[in-house]
Chains A and B, each alone.
Chain A
């Protein structure tokens, strides 16, 4: 056994955290854990949004409740911001590692056994980041919208989605979010080491079903506005 062969590979880290993050699995674990946080937010956001179907009073009073509890609002925003940054930084570092790992590409490569969602994470992810920036300007800051009223959430939604262009952009973004969640929801279990023949098939099915339901829930709102089901 040659000690020299593998010398200095695991050394050189001052503490556990830096050694952990230096490893690809460490970065993947950060992506998985921040993914859980972001998924939790997506669920909460969907539950909040769906109150639009209860009418203007219900949605606007929910918005007023959030704004009246700044600790909850800003606490959540801070946790989300940190999670998004960690999720993005780790994904960029891992993608650089991947690019370096195969300098010469195949003339022919058949990736038939992996899902479309799993191979497009680095396309759906950046698009979702772009969408979040747009969405914050659109519905939180009201950038470039003269009739925007931060307290009248219901009215803002109806007004925005009456434009088919805006509505279809949101629908497209939610479809990409769905594919991202489809792979992410399963992948977080595998990354964190939870794979067992007795429950992995269930996790895969629940991940696919969850992604479809969440996408359908979000898409229902612009569709309902376009169809005139929700109106002011």
Chain B
């Protein structure tokens, strides 16, 4: 099958960038989307052009490195998968595809489809952790975790931090990501000591990074490769509201510099 690609090309964060048209010829339907781009890139290299830059690592849908917009949908049309797990059999001969990077002020373009997502790391650093005492290993099952909470914490922990929620959100909000991390830790007994401060700090960090607000519309949930639910955002809101008015401690990390 032959495809027409319109790909965002941008040399650096300071470059203005533009859409460039490419023809992908004899695409094998068994290829993954990234393998199709690999083949296009080999042709570009042979012609002496710059290959299209895109972020990727495991190509198994678990690392969260890859991701870009395909015809305006984060990770493309296949539900519950990252773009590395999208296969070319979903397309047909003659299809025209627009490939664009995640677009958000907090995700500056490094090159082409490759964006800098360190803003998400800084949200984690602001409060997405628990404190543990080092020393000898604790007894197994010393802390009881109800099955339903363990399941829900695992569901939230499935977030791979790919940034598709931000990309799909009309407000470029990181609420689904932040909510997933807050829910993951806040559902477990080990996450309780910092629970209130975590909500305050991570929410403040997300705003400081330049992410927008949540308008509860659900575009993020629809594209999440790990199918994280909007419920995690409500949980984050709940923790934030409680912490704002009842917490007796100062927020984590940096209220005094």
Closest residue to B237 on the A side, CB-wise? Answer: A193
A16 near B245 with CB under 8 A, answer yes
A-B interface contact total, Cβ < 8 Å: 187
Identify the interface centre among A3, A25, A200: most chain B CB within 10 Å of its CB.
A25
Q: Across the interface, which residues of A come within 8 angstroms of B8, CB to CB?
A: 107
* Cα–Cα, bound, A11→B254 (Å): 7
Binary contact readout A76-99 vs B (1 if CB under 8 angstroms, 0 otherwise): 000000000000000000100110
A98 near B213 with CB under 8 A, answer yes
> Which one, B73, B170, B236, contacts A98 given CB within 8 A?
B170
Q: Across the interface, which residues of B come within 8 angstroms of A111, CB to CB?
A: 170, 219
Taking the closest CB of chain B, its distance from the CB of A109, in whole angstroms, is 4
B218 near A113 with CB under 8 A, answer yes
Q: Across the interface, which residues of A come within 8 angstroms of B125, CB to CB?
A: 1-2, 5-6
Q: Across the interface, which residues of B come within 8 angstroms of A24, CB to CB?
A: 173, 203, 206-207, 212-214
Which A residues have a C-beta under 8 Å from some C-beta of B? 1-11, 16, 19-20, 22-29, 94, 97-98, 100-115, 118-119, 121, 183, 186-187, 189-197, 200
Which B residues have a C-beta under 8 Å from some C-beta of A? 6, 8, 17, 19, 69, 71-73, 98, 100, 103-106, 122, 125-126, 129, 170-173, 200-201, 203-208, 210-219, 221-223, 230-231, 233-241, 244-245, 251-257
23 CB contacts below 8 A, A to B, read A3-B254, A5-B253, A8-B257, A10-B204, A10-B253, A11-B254, A11-B256, A20-B244, A23-B244, A25-B203, A28-B213, A101-B172, A102-B104, A106-B103, A111-B170, A113-B218, A113-B222, A115-B217, A118-B217, A189-B234, A190-B237, A192-B238, A193-B234
Q: List 14 extra interface pairs beyond A6-B205, A11-B251, A190-B237, CB under 8 A.
A: A4-B254, A6-B125, A9-B205, A25-B236, A25-B240, A28-B213, A29-B237, A102-B172, A102-B212, A106-B103, A108-B72, A108-B98, A111-B219, A193-B234
